[in-house]
A and B are shown apart, each in its own frame.
Chain A
Amino acid sequence: MTVRLGVPSKGRLMEKTFDWFGARGITLSRTGSDREYAGAVDGVEGVSLILLSAGEIPRELAAGRINFGVTGTDLVQEKLPLWEQQVEPVRELGFGFADLVLAVPMAWVDVETLDDLDAVATAFRQTHGLRLRIATKYHRLVREYLRHGGVADYALVDSQGATEGTVANETAEAIADITSSGETLRANHLKVLSDGPILRSQATLWRSRNAKVTADERQVVAELVARVEG
């Protein structure tokens, strides 16, 4: 048996993860054709590479099917209840920075903070007979944040992509989404509330607390942790 490391299977996140491990003497590579999600690990014994969609990595960690995984803080906290008990952050990787933010139309000059959003949500419901809609795919994180902030008169609408467009399309009044530079928000005439982000996320190496390991594997786990922490 080997220790299994789950890494995003495509795009910049995969390349940067490969670079990050490479800089620590661990070479990750894809094998076979471009379409085949198989990989190889050199530079450390007893570790196998599993290429997965970044969104599936939290679930695989929680199920204990992989020992380590690279994915964003946002996805771990959104997808795993009691995430601290299921996974442990080993290292923040210093890339894939993104903030989960709440954004409203720039033209809402009367809205700067969550306080304002709360007041506007109540007035909106009175005027339109419907709760102010917030489009997002981060349902749990947004709901927790608003509960903590004491905002109640809203409805979450699910949006799995092109979330910034939902306000102009009148399927939502506000959005909660991941942004790195804020460029897309500005292009869509949206602004971020000034209270600060709901969550600051970056690519992180996680260790599963649920994966069972043999004595041999435990040594490999310890070595891998030592290599990436050094």
Chain B
Amino acid sequence: MTSPSQVLARAAALRAGFEEAGAQVVETPVLQPADTLLDLYGEEIRARAYVTSDALRGEQMLRPDFTVPVVQMHMADGAEPARYTYSGEVFRRQEHDPSRANEYLQVGFEVFDRANVAAADAEVFALFAQAVAHLKLRAATGDIGILMAAVRGLQTSDARKAALLRHIWRPRRFRGLLDRYAGRVRPSEQRIALIEGKAAPCKAPLIGRRRQSEIDQRIDVLRADAAEPPIAAGEVDLLDALLGVREMLPFAHQQLSDLAMDMPNISGAVSRLAARTEALASRGVDVDALPFEASYGRTSMEYYDGFVFGFYSAQRPDLPPLATGGRYDALTQRLGDDDAAIPAVGGVLRPDLIVQLEASQ
């Protein structure tokens, strides 16, 4: 058994390691305004975070992670470039798996740096890899930015691309939209009648806050979309080939470079992958043995929009990842204003799981 004091001591040591690597120690409040988190994650966050309230401040959430408050703190008064580290408890509601902790320590490291994005990615990954090196974990990496670039490059309307980008972290809905835009799903009779202006008029009164003008606008959007040619089968195949890339980093890069011949839009993102691979190698990471999966991070890491990584125990696949992280440039834009946006990358470690795994090895 591992004791809470062992876990605390390990957390302190890990944070000290990040401090030594140049990070400034920061603290954030445990109670976070619910509005910010609801705006960012939607109603779904209520299934994952504990909500409480008082009459003065309204709804508050027990900190489900540090990223949002650390980004806000940096945007409010941070100098640039900045490196932060923290250690503290996060709280997660668990409704499906009683074996998962609902309160645990996270030790994090976040880098806000415009200068060299590839070097910052490599710096963060190498520090985390080093912190867990003795545990012989399985590393996973990916890059959401490549998929986003591929979607932006599709030969189709901006409205369709925006809808696909909005659902990049929800693979089922993404697939449903793609099938529809590729003309693989036939619209309902009712929908065809509506688009052709042949639908019987609706006799029911309009109730609620959504106005007739909004309904008419949406019908215009549906008509414009129906007039749009389907996304070509070849383009969908390329996207599927991209999503299927799963190799050690050098081979993955080769496959993606080949795909970039037919999808010129991803070439920028693929060269960023090459630059990152080089930066990782120069930090001493064995890139030949580092797995890369193009679809990694699509289901669980919703604000990451570039490099993503995680460390897993091969002996204990039942455990959550011991470390996760990634790049979240767009988050700084959403939480601040456009001018304040800054490239950011970071990650968190789970000292409780690290100590637990050490005890069992």
| Shortest distance between the CB of A139 and any CB in chain B (Å) | 8
**CB pair B43 A170 closer than 8 Å:** no
| Shortest distance between the CB of A20 and any CB in chain B (Å) | 32
Q: How far is the CA of A135 from the CA of B172 in the complex (A)?
A: 25
Chain B contacts with A in 38-60, Cβ cutoff 8 A: 38, 41-44, 46-47
Q: Cβ of B219: which chain A residues have Cβ within 8 Å of it? A: 109-110
Among candidates B38, B180, B207, residue contacting A167 with C-beta atoms closer than 8 Å: B207
CB of B253 within 8 Å of the partner chain = no
| Shortest distance between the CB of A154 and any CB in chain B (Å) | 6
**CB pair A173 B209 closer than 8 Å:** yes
Q: Is the interface of B mostly helix, strand, loop or mixed?
A: helix
Q: Cβ of B191: which chain A residues have Cβ within 8 Å of it? A: 112
CB of B204 within 8 Å of the partner chain = yes
Nearest to B199 among chain A residues (CB) is A109
Q: Cβ of A109: which chain B residues have Cβ within 8 Å of it? A: 194, 199, 202, 215, 219
CB of A88 within 8 Å of the partner chain = no
CB of B167 within 8 Å of the partner chain = yes
Among candidates A140, A152, A168, residue contacting B207 with C-beta atoms closer than 8 Å: A168
**CB pair A154 B42 closer than 8 Å:** yes
Q: How far is the CA of A105 from the CA of B207 in the complex (A)?
A: 6
Q: Cβ of A82: which chain B residues have Cβ within 8 Å of it? A: 95-96, 98
Given A110-B194, A122-B166, A152-B43, check contact A81 B96 (CB 8 Å): yes
**CB pair B44 A115 closer than 8 Å:** no
* Size of the chain B interface, CB-CB below 8 angstroms: 41
**CB pair B207 A107 closer than 8 Å:** yes
CB of A120 within 8 Å of the partner chain = yes
CB of B218 within 8 Å of the partner chain = yes
| Shortest distance between the CB of B163 and any CB in chain A (Å) | 7
Nearest to B185 among chain A residues (CB) is A115
Given A131-B43, A147-B47, check contact A168 B188 (CB 8 Å): no
A interface list, Cβ under 8 A from B: 81-82, 105-110, 112, 115, 118-120, 122-124, 127-128, 131, 139-140, 143-144, 146-156, 167-168, 170, 172-173, 188-189, 194
27 contacts between A and B (CB under 8 A): A81-B96, A82-B95, A105-B206, A107-B205, A107-B207, A109-B215, A110-B194, A112-B191, A115-B176, A115-B177, A120-B218, A123-B217, A139-B46, A144-B47, A146-B44, A147-B44, A147-B47, A149-B173, A150-B167, A150-B172, A152-B44, A153-B42, A155-B38, A155-B43, A167-B207, A170-B209, A173-B208
